[in-house]
Structure 1
């Protein structure tokens, strides 16, 4: 029997938490989703607030194994983020991190950087 993809082996509690996060995004997450949804970024398919193992990924493009995290000040020099990035890298993902302010104040620059890294 085939093994389920990692993003399908999460707990019901984590999936519910992700669903709530999709319903009540931060301002920066809502702005980023408007830019990424419906293949708006050069036809790349992104999903938002996706449970993966014990984490919820802000945005993920499974086709290109890219995770986009939108961070506030609480993430500055976070050991937990470093460990999470290492785990995601071990699963073949590239993690791109952007500050809330960059998404809100310089969305074009953020999108340009994402495109450059996807190509």
Structure 2
């Protein structure tokens, strides 16, 4: 998820379109499981704008945001905490996974997603 506060909402929307064509390997891997209503018949979107943020994956129906974080996020913990707090204040549930977790333990990642959705 990126925070481009200096961009307007329309710029955020066009940037999210660009990100869809430049997904990371981990995002592409997870997308193969989330697309086409494969998880509990729910629709997921990728690179979805929410306020000044772009969320990696969302299920709007359940207000679930899924973030796939690379190594740079270990240095962005304050920004990520702010973003998570803002999203939760808007009613979103946020799940975060590291790239290597998605690539090496997709089954465990999917189990956490199913569990989060089952609690709603």
What TM-score, normalized by structure 1, do the two folds share? Answer: 0.89
Return the offset for 1:75. 1.1
**Correspondence list, 1:45-56, <5 A:** 45-56=43-54
Matched position secondary structure for 1:44: coil
Q: Which sections of structure 2, spanning at least 5 residues, go unmatched?
A: 1-7
> Which structure 1 residue ranges, 5 or more long, are not aligned?
1-9
Q: Show the counterpart of 2:3.
A: none
Q: 1:47-79: per-residue Cα shift (whole Å, max 9, x none)?
A: 000011100000011111110000011112610
Question: What SS class does the counterpart of residue 42 from structure 1 fall into?
Answer: coil
**1:98 counterpart SS class:** strand
Helix, strand or coil at the partner of 1:43: coil
> Paired residue for 1:11?
9
- The structural deviation recorded for 1:11 is 1.7
Q: Decide which moves more: 69-78 or 46-55.
A: 69-78
Aligned to 1:114: 113
SS in 1 for 2:36: helix
In 2, distance between residues paired with 1:25 and 1:72? 12
Question: 1:117: how far off?
Answer: 1.2
| 1:78 corresponding residue in structure 2 | 77
How far the C-alpha of 1:37 sits from its partner, in A, is 0.4
Structure-2 residue corresponding to 1:6: none
Please give the alpha-carbon distance, in whole angstroms, between the structure 1 residues aligned to 2:11 and 2:46: 17
Q: Secondary structure at the match of 1:92?
A: coil
